[in-house]
């Protein structure tokens, strides 16, 4: 636990939240700044700044909990799909520095638009980048 971490406070129960699910290593609660109806956050109980620092067991538990919640929001909220998002670093929109996954239900006519707009890339540059990553 980190003393000044909002999500650690939620995990500990000292900060109120609308918790909806949990397992031994992770909890899920409603985002108070929802992108769409039903937007949830899934956080490992153990503090880590982001997924690079999280124990593999914590990431597995959080991912499995998120997986079950994707099914839940689609079935119970009549969502048309869902986004699963992890922001790593301030430049990638991370605002709370405790590993977390966003489960964002998506609806056919919802107004949510991420700033990324896919366009075809340069296939040679893509291949070169792939080679750098191998």
Residue 100 annotated to the active site:
yes
Catalytic option among 39, 98, 100, 102: 100
Name 103's bridge partners: 40, 84
Dihedral angle computed from the Cα positions of residues 113, 119, 123 and 125, in that order, rounded to the nearest 10 degrees: -70
Catalytic positions are 100
């Amino acid at each position: 636990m980190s003393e000044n971490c909002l999500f650690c406070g939620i995990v500990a129960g000292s900060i109120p939240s609308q918790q909806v699910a949990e397992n031994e290593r992770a909890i899920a609660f409603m985002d108070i700044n929802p992108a769409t109806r039903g937007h949830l956050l899934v956080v490992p109980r153990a503090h880590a700044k982001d997924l690079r620092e999280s124990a593999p067991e914590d990431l597995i538990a959080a991912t499995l909990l998120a997986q079950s919640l994707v099914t839940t929001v689609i079935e119970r909220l009549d969502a048309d799909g869902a986004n699963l998002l992890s922001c790593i670093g301030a430049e990638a929109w991370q605002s709370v520095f405790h590993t977390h996954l966003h489960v964002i239900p998506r609806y056919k006519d919802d107004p949510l638009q991420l700033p990324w707009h896919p366009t075809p890339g340069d296939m040679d540059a893509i291949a070169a980048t792939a080679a750098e990553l191998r």
